[in-house]
Chain A
Amino acid sequence: MRVPGFFSRVRRILLLGQRWQRLKFALNVWLQDPSLHPLETYPRFDVGLCVRTFLRNLTVMHWYVKAKGSRSLTYLQPFNGVGVRRMSSRDRVSVEHLRRRITVDGINEWDAMREFYSQAAAGLRRLGSDEFRDLTDVFDHCPEGTAIYIDQVHCSDKGYDLMARRMAEDILKQEGGVVGCVSERPSVLPEPAQAEGEYGTDKVSREAT
């Protein structure tokens, strides 16, 4: 009986490993493991229609509120990756989730989102800069690597605080108030410091995917 040599044994082990990998992959497919690419597939996406619907709804809302005697302020909410702020390592990883959602045309949701934001921002500028504002640049001044987002769009306390500050500035400007008062923080609030210089950096370590 012929005893297999060293290389033959290694080859067999490697092949066994491949088989195991294939079995695992088949099992994951069967279980619909979301880590497989793509996550979901959708039909055609018409970004123009989406932007038109969006702007029409905002316009109707604006005129309705105005006709009722109130003032209207509409903000285009910030989104991870839009604006000049450089994404942290964590931001880049979280955006991958959107890249795995694709249409039958091969457009992923991340690209669709960016296209929508560029067209919607232009549309809002056309509608008027007083009532329709673009808030996507609200985190531009944050230092590189600062953790703001907890996923593609949601923030935690720091991000929400910055957005609220910008809104308050706009409202007070329209009211004719002193805008500089907004940044002053009275001592009655016992809560985490959120001044610009006190931001920590994104310390979440993660292997490259």
Chain B
Amino acid sequence: MTLARGLLVGALFLVLMLESWVRFRRLRLAPLRLRLWYACFLLSREAVEAITEIHQRVERAGGRSFDELFELYASASGRSRDEIEALFGFQMSWWKLTTSRLVLQNILQWHIGLVPRPDQRLRTVSIASDGTRATDSGLACKTVGNGLKRVVLTGGSVAYGYGATGDAHTIASRLEYYLNSAEPSGARRWQVVNCAFPAGNSFQELISILQKVDFSNQPPAYVVSLTGCNDVDQHFSSAMPNVSAMLQRFVTSMHTTRYPKSLRFAIVYLLGNHPLISQAVPVPQVSYRQAMSLIHTTLHPSN
């Protein structure tokens, strides 16, 4: 009996040690301090997600450590290494790391997929109440009420500003800055709305324009789309069907098939178990059938 108990305790100890070692190994590019905390089960889930995200960025950049990535960021953004480390790094106490909000929370939006949850503010990203990324052109000039022209920017993570050191350095903010700074009167006449979201492909952009852009009240002067990379990336890796791939396949048969209710439940079932979704909030605004009939009646009003 004692031997069996001893063996059981020993086996549990071995499993724990193995798990610790696997954890230590998993964050192999992170600083030793973070690896040890993770191996000792001391980090919160959100802290691990934040560290894993930077870890993946290091891998994508072909680096070997967090330090190399921060050096690259500093070089590509024209900022000092310390500034970059303060914005993206984890030079903080264990308590602050485990209690701070460090990663964006996503929600499931119908027909689009994962989009950032509204009303969030992190170190480098702010999401407004309408779900768009905040723009900040930094211009202190007066806004012209009547003649304000709206530009809607759509696209994937590049248009969203992934990797920018703040909201003021995204494409949308810089575009707003350049458009307004060209005004001879010095007044603010342009407003750029950043409707892009990470991993968005061209089809998701189309749906997001149908759902989010208000053409009836005050139509935007321009709808600018910056796209390309996510389409090929998601086509390439559609072996494991993600939302985009499922949606893309569905839209090809959109004209001939009715919207199956079972697909909706399948997507919810699949995404509802996704670890990155903390709260799934379906927003059924426009169905495919409605979207296509809307496009059809707009383009062919006589029919």
Interface residues of A, Cβ cutoff 8 Å to B? 31, 34, 40, 42-43, 45-47, 49-50, 53-54, 57-58, 60-61, 63-65, 67-77, 79, 90, 93-97, 101, 103, 109, 112-113, 116-117, 120, 135, 147-161, 163-165, 167-168, 171-172, 177-178, 181-182, 184-186, 188-194, 198-200, 202-204, 206, 209
**Complex contacts, B201 vs chain A, CB 8 Å:** 57
Do B75 and A204 touch across chains, with their CB atoms under 8 A apart?
Answer: yes
B182 contacts A by Cβ under 8 Å: yes
Of B90-98, B112-120, B171-179, B275-283, the one contacting chain A is: B171-179
A155-B222 in contact given A63-B299, A97-B59, A109-B233 (Cβ < 8 Å): no
- Can you pick out 21 interface pairs between chain A and chain B where the beta carbons lie within 8 Å of each other? A43-B239, A46-B235, A53-B235, A63-B299, A65-B223, A90-B62, A90-B72, A101-B236, A113-B229, A151-B57, A151-B60, A154-B157, A154-B162, A155-B76, A160-B171, A163-B158, A164-B175, A172-B182, A178-B184, A182-B178, A200-B78
Report the nearest B residue to A193, measured CB to CB: B78
Interface residues of B, Cβ cutoff 8 Å to A? 22, 25, 57, 59-64, 68-69, 71-73, 75-79, 138-141, 151, 155-159, 161-165, 168-175, 177-179, 181-182, 184, 201-203, 205-206, 209-210, 215, 219-229, 231-233, 235-239, 248, 252, 295, 298-299
Do A31 and B22 touch across chains, with their CB atoms under 8 A apart?
Answer: yes
A77 to B228, CA, bound (A): 6
**Complex contacts, A101 vs chain B, CB 8 Å:** 236-237
A135 to B158, CA, bound (A): 12
Do B182 and A148 touch across chains, with their CB atoms under 8 A apart?
Answer: no
A156 to B143, CA, bound (A): 28
A93 to B237, CA, bound (A): 21
Q: Knowing that A54-B231, A149-B76, A188-B138 touch, tell me 6 more A-B residue pairs with CB under 8 angstroms.
A: A34-B59, A68-B215, A72-B224, A160-B170, A163-B226, A168-B175
A75-B71 in contact given A57-B206, A70-B220 (Cβ < 8 Å): no
**Complex contacts, B231 vs chain A, CB 8 Å:** 50, 53-54, 116
Compute the total of residue contacts between A and B using a CB distance below 8 Å: 254
Do A204 and B71 touch across chains, with their CB atoms under 8 A apart?
Answer: yes
Do B164 and A64 touch across chains, with their CB atoms under 8 A apart?
Answer: no
A160 to B138, CA, bound (A): 16
Q: Tell me the smallest distance from the CB of A74 to a CB of chain B, in Å.
A: 5
Do B138 and A189 touch across chains, with their CB atoms under 8 A apart?
Answer: yes
A157-B165 in contact given A64-B209, A70-B215, A194-B78 (Cβ < 8 Å): yes
Do B219 and A70 touch across chains, with their CB atoms under 8 A apart?
Answer: yes
Q: Is the interface of A mostly helix, strand, loop or mixed?
A: mixed
**Complex contacts, A185 vs chain B, CB 8 Å:** 181
Do B202 and A54 touch across chains, with their CB atoms under 8 A apart?
Answer: yes
Do B163 and A203 touch across chains, with their CB atoms under 8 A apart?
Answer: no
Do A112 and B236 touch across chains, with their CB atoms under 8 A apart?
Answer: yes
Of the candidates A58, A94, A191, the one whose C-beta lies within 8 Å of that of B202 is A58
A90 to B58, CA, bound (A): 12
A171 to B77, CA, bound (A): 25
Report the nearest A residue to B26, measured CB to CB: A31
A43 to B241, CA, bound (A): 12
Q: Tell me the smallest distance from the CB of A197 to a CB of chain B, in Å.
A: 13
A76 to B164, CA, bound (A): 20
A117-B228 in contact given A164-B178, A184-B181 (Cβ < 8 Å): yes
**Complex contacts, B235 vs chain A, CB 8 Å:** 45-46, 49-50, 53
